[in-house]
Amino acid sequence: MSDIFDEVDEELRADRAQQFLKRYGTWIAGAMMLVVLGVAGQQGWRWWENRKAAQAAEAFLAAGAAAALPTTDAKVAAEAFTALLPEAPAGYRTLARLRAAALTATAGDTAAALAQWDALSKDTGTEALYRDLASLLWGLHALGTVEPAQIEQRLAPLAVPTNPWHASVQEVRALAALQRGDQAAARQGLQALANDVTAPQGVRERAGRLLAGLGG
């Protein structure tokens, strides 16, 4: 008798399962499909991002190698880096913008290079480290083109010890002070640099040579 009851019980469970699947099967299948698609989409996105980063790295290195050739025109090299911008991930896009601006300056178009560095320095989507570097490069190449006082004022917020570029910023500000004829301010800035043990050795040595030239 127990076998009969077991069979009946199994049939009842099977019937309930069929009813359950008829009522909720489509919803369950849809939910499972969403989970599968979500996982597949995440994996696909990672693969695509890795592939995109690898392609960007390869293109960036190729552009850099071409730019390093003595026969390469700086303007053409700048255009090669600019061509990377639409497809490159954020990090490579920032580096490409910096290289394009530097090569534009090398090609003799200082105004265009200054505009590129200025735009990058104000791009809030770029890391502060690179925005500050763009400001520094703007200031360095603006010497002799932009009013020295304007350069000093713009770079002043970056001349703090906590800024990674502060030593180079102070050097540019001292050069700007020299351009506007304020030797006292220039000497003060250069002396601070020469005494700054945290500043790169090259910066300290240049500061010392400039001080010697000023008789200080």
pLDDT by position in tens, the chain (length 216): 444 434 434 444 445 545 544 555 454 444 445 444 444 444 443 544 556 667 777 887 888 788 888 898 999 989 998 998 888 888 888 989 999 999 999 999 999 999 999 999 999 999 999 999 999 999 999 999 999 999 999 999 999 999 999 999 999 999 999 999 999 999 999 999 999 998 889 989 998 988 888 875
First to last CA, the chain: 113
pLDDT at 23: 56
Q: What residue spans of the chain are helical by DSSP H?
A: 2-68, 74-82, 90-106, 110-121, 128-142, 148-155, 166-179, 183-194, 201-213
Report pLDDT for 216.
Answer: 59
- Give the number of other Cβ atoms within 10 Å of residue 189's Cβ: 24
User: Which amino acid is it at 108?
Assistant: G
Position 48 scores a pLDDT of 43
Q: CB atoms < 10 A from the CB of 101, how many?
A: 27
Residue 18: the pLDDT is: 54
Task: Specify the DSSP class assigned to residue 157.
Answer: G
Which residues share a beta bridge with 143?
Answer: 146
pTM score of the predicted model: 0.74
pLDDT of residue 49: 54
With tokens 């979500």, the residue in question is 38
Supply the pLDDT for residue 55. Answer: 77
